[in-house]
Amino acid sequence: MRNALAIAHKELRAYFASPIAYIVIGFFALLFGWFYIGILDWFVRQGMQMGQFGMQGPQNLNINQQMIRPLLLNMTVVFLFLLPLVTMRTYAEEKRSGTIELLLTSPLTDMQIVIGKFLGAMALYSAMLAVTLVHFGLLFVYGNPDWKPLAAAYLGLFLFGGCFISVGLFISSLTKNQIVAGAATFGVFLLLWVVDWIGQSLGPTGESLTKYLSMTEHLDDFVKGVIDTKHLVYYVSFITFGLFLTMRSVDAERWRG
Amino acid sequence: MIEVEHLTKRYGTVTAVDDVTFRVNKGEILGFLGPNGAGKTTTMRVLTGYMPATDGRAAVAGYDVFDHPIEAKLRTGYLPETPPLYPDMTVREYLNFVAKIKGVAPKDRAARVDQVMTRTWVADMANRACGKLSKGYRQRVGLAQALIHNPEVLILDEPTAGLDPKQINETRRLIKALAGDHTIILSTHILTEVEQTCQRVVIINKGKVVAEDTPENLTRRLRGSATMFVQVDGDRAAEAQAALARVDGVVRVTSADASGTAFEVESESGRDVRRELASAVIGGGWGLVELRPMRLSLEDVFLSLTTEERQEETVNA
């Protein structure tokens, strides 16, 4: 574990030593702010309208369901675009610059390297998520949202990002070219995103299968505030599988030379 | 310390290393010599555990690199062809990171980093980003990285490539100083490097070991007979040549320069004819200006061994 943390630390430092971290976090903050203002505005007007029609006041609108949930679901689109930028360099750059030779000839197991890289990317992703705490903090100051569904939503988002990152690591381990890794990762992310869109035309089995595969489908319950083991199992096994594939890919690369 | 037995590595249908066997004793410096693409780097990559062999085995410090990779890697320092530097890290950060992943205890790390930086003359660049270093500094930081965990075995892939003459000399001296405590394999295609630093040479060509010996023996072995360089003073040089040729044990005398007073005298293998040559010259009334054994440089050995190989192949084809 100490070795994995050493790698994670190095990865995180590489993100912050280059502009990657600042660009990714900066644009994420900007876009998130945009969504936040938009949805907040809508939420407030909705509340006022309801008040005008003599229905319940704005306090009675559920801020978790009406505001936080759509906001977080929208935000995942931003991750779809930004996470490939985080993972594309992980292996591709090491392979191109030859530093992979240092890692593979050091007394480390492949698993330690993969886990280290995963944790490094997850730390950057957590920093992105941390930005949103400010916005939600304001909601707590001026409103009274329930923190439990929000915590569940963060757990869901964390796992959701983990899936993307593990796939991104795997794709990056297949190539020396960062652009190829980035483009392929984006393609695969998008596919995992829309996989259930064609579900209805595939009949009942196809529909439930594509629904099960869809990354966002599993997120919805978390964002509603429900922690269902079904979804936990999906995410955790997805991440494990992604990391396992990455390990196999690094090992295969050794045999190929 | 390092054992390589029947090592074979194939990339698809291409055989990069073909049944290579050699060993390096503790404290020794072995020169790994061969033209580009001969399989030097591949052999080293197998030894360092970067890639597995297709066949055969390799062991470092008693640990098989395939069965006990972690143990073997803890005892190996490796400088790849291109120093594996992270451009965004400073030299100190980089060496500290390498120390961490190579298992240097936390309390020794800072001291160890300072020590190797001094040893490889990079201390003045400690806070410079690796990506901004000159080629010479990169190479030396690469060397520092290989030394950081004080490994028993050092595997250096062209350690002097890209250095200026002064740095080359310093690096060679450093490598020589490291022998004894460390067992070293260094690859190169610069022959003087091998002659200056190595106790033993393995010449590899097209994946096969074509020769293994000390630099001196290799040179001797190549010429079945020994050659002397003789220079005489005075005229009647042609007569001198004839007189030399009459000496017992001399096979052939050829003129060595345009003036006609210098000769290369080839004698039968294993016979020292220096005394006889000297008395023949003086007895004939010429002045003996110079008499010395001619040593063939490794470069010639190298060329001839690799050329022979090529001729064989044409015959086989």
Contact (Cβ atoms closer than 8 angstroms) between residue B28 and residue B193:
no
The answer to whether residue B248 scores a pLDDT higher than 80 is yes
Q: Which one has a higher pLDDT value, A255 or B29?
A: B29
Q: Do A255 and B52 touch (CB under 8 A)?
A: yes
Among chain A residues, the shortest Cα distance to B48 is held by: A105
Q: Looking at domain B224-293, does it have CATH number 3.30.70.100?
A: yes
Average pLDDT (A100-115) is 93
Mean pLDDT of A227-247: 94
Give the residue from B61, B28, B37 showing the smallest Cα distance to B47: B61
Q: What is the mean pLDDT of residues A84-90?
A: 92
Chain A residue with Cα closest to B16: A257
- CB atoms B88 and A102 under 8 Å: no
Tell me: pLDDT of B73 over 60: yes
Tokens of A107: 């007394």
Q: Are A178 and A92 in contact (CB under 8 A)?
A: yes
Q: Determine the Cα–Cα distance for residues B237 and A253; give it in Å rounded to an integer.
A: 68
Specify whether the CB–CB gap between B177 and B197 falls below 8 A. Answer: no
3-state secondary structure at position A177 = coil
A185-A237-A105-A102 Cα dihedral, nearest 10 degrees: 40
CB-nearest to A106 from B42, B52, B73 is B73
Please tell me the pTM assigned to this model. 0.82
Q: CA nearest A109 in B: which residue?
A: B70
pLDDT of B310 above 50: no
> What's chain B's Rg over C-alpha atoms?
25
Q: What pLDDT does A221 receive? A: 87
Q: What is the pLDDT of residue B116?
A: 93
Asked if B85 and B138 touch (Cβ cutoff 8 Å), the reply is yes
Nearest Cβ partner of A18 from B11, B88, B100? Answer: B88
Burial class (CB in 10 A: 0-12, 13-18, 19+), A200: exposed
pLDDT tens track for B126-168: 999 999 998 889 999 999 999 999 999 999 998 888 788 888 8
Angle at B178 between CA B175 and CA B184, to 5 degrees: 70
CA B11 to chain A, closest CA, distance in angstroms equals 6
* Residue A162 to residue A159: CA distance in whole angstroms: 5
Q: Which residue has the higher pLDDT, B255 or A234?
A: A234
| Most confident segment among A9-18, A61-70, B208-217, B266-275 | A9-18
The residue among A193 and A247 whose pLDDT is bigger is A247
Taking residues A144-165, report their average pLDDT. Answer: 90
pLDDT reading at A86 higher than 60? yes
CATH no., domain B2-220: 3.40.50.300
Residue ranges covered by each domain of chain A: 2-256
CB pair distance less than 8 Å for A99 and B102: no
Chain B residues closer than 8 Å to A254 by CB: 50-52
- Nearest residue of A to residue B105 by CA position? A2
CA distances from A186 to A19, A79, A167, B171 (A): 20, 10, 10, 47
Give residue B311's pLDDT band: very low, low, confident or very high (50, 70, 90): very low
Sign of CA dihedral B119, B123, B125, B130: positive
**Range in A3-17, A104-118, B177-191 the model is least confident about:** B177-191
Between A256 and B65, the more confident residue is: B65
More confident residue, B303 or A255: A255
Mark out chain A residues that contact chain B at CB-CB < 8 A.
3, 6-7, 9-10, 13-14, 17-18, 97-109, 254-257
pLDDT at B270 over 80: no
Over 70: is that where the pLDDT of B223 sits? no
The chain-wide mean pLDDT, for chain B, equals 85
Kindly provide the ipTM of the predicted complex, given to two decimals. Answer: 0.86
Best CA proximity match to B214, nearest among B2, B18, B40, B29: B29
Interface contact A256-B11, CB threshold 8 A: yes
User: Which pLDDT value is given to residue A257?
Assistant: 63
Q: Residue A71: which of A23, A125, A20, A129 has the closest Cα?
A: A129
pLDDT for B302 beyond 70? no
What mean pLDDT do residues B171-189 have?
A: 88
Contact B80 A107 (CB under 8 A): no
Strand partners, B209: B204
- Domains of chain B by residue range: 2-220, 224-293
The Cβ of residue A114 has, within 10 Å, a number of other Cβ atoms equal to: 27
Per-residue pLDDT tens over the stretch B90-120: 999 999 999 999 999 999 999 999 999 998 8
> Which residue reads 């030097």 in tokens?
B40
